[in-house]
């Protein structure tokens, strides 16, 4: 079909779908990584918009009539896509916080590596936990939940329907709270074992002052941390899989609050 056969309403509808898709791709982990070329991100967003546009029904009365209305709707579409992508970033960041706390207690506070997803420096253990959570996210098809939520979002929040309501703020704060609670729950075995290990090292240092506790303490804390971290991985992946599988209802409640 020639481009001239498309009406202005169809072009405007496609642009709104494209903007929401592009914002989601830009904020999703892995897809929004700085290491992914910009052309790849643009092509993925364009392909996603082409696939979603035929099933999205937008009321022609909601479409913009001038450039000012188009700019206003564009900001709203970008906000919706960005908020949806930030949800999974919060969940993955919870694992990164757990690894940061565990790595600090294990003595890896200065052992940092480059984070290809965020573009900064993070602790080795934190990056390992983040990578495991990201693999679990992709393994259970978590990215498919977001693409499905993107298609459903136009029925729940039509163009021009976005608003920074109190309900949206409360939902986002609740998800942020859940991020910290989840990080503490998952990291409790490792952090607790390392805490007791350090207390034991303090008792040994008092009872046997001839022992160089700095020489002995580092290998012991690293060994204990690695053992409990490996044991935690047995529950880490299934737990994150259940969390990611429940993204559908979470995203629907978030969309309804907009």
pLDDT tens track for 118-145: 555 666 777 787 888 788 777 777 777 7
Query: pTM for this structure?
Result: 0.72
**CA 181, CA 164: separation in Å to the nearest integer?**
25
- Within 13 Å and on the Cβ side, how many CA atoms surround 1? 5
Structure tokens at 213: 């506790």
Rg for the chain, CA atoms, rounded: 23
pLDDT tens track for 90-123: 777 777 788 787 777 777 766 555 555 555 566 6
């Amino acid at each position: 079909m020639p481009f001239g056969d498309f009406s202005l309403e169809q072009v405007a509808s496609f642009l709104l779908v494209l903007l929401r898709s592009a914002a989601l791709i830009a904020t999703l982990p892995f897809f929004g990584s700085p290491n992914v070329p910009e052309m790849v991100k643009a092509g993925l967003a364009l392909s996603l918009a082409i696939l979603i546009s035929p099933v999205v029904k937008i009321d022609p009365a909601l479409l913009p009539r001038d450039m000012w209305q188009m700019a206003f709707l564009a900001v709203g579409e970008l906000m919706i896509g960005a908020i949806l992508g930030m949800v999974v970033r919060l969940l993955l960041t919870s694992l990164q916080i757990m690894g940061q706390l565990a790595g600090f207690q294990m003595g890896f506070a200065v052992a940092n590596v480059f984070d290809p997803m965020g573009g900064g420096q993070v602790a080795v253990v934190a990056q390992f936990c983040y990578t495991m959570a990201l693999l679990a996210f992709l393994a259970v098809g978590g990215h498919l939940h977001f693409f499905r939520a993107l298609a459903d979002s136009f029925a729940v929040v039509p163009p021009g329907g976005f608003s920074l309501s109190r309900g949206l703020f409360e939902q986002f704060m609740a998800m942020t709270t859940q991020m910290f609670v989840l990080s503490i729950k998952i990291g409790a075995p490792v952090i607790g074992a390392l805490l007791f290990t350090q207390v034991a090292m303090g008792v040994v240092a008092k009872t046997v002052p001839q022992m160089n506790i700095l020489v002995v303490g580092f290998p012991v804390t690293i060994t204990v941390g690695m053992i409990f971290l490996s044991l935690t991985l047995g529950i880490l992946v299934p737990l994150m899989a259940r969390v990611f599988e429940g993204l559908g209802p979470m995203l629907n409640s978030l969309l309804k609050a907009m």
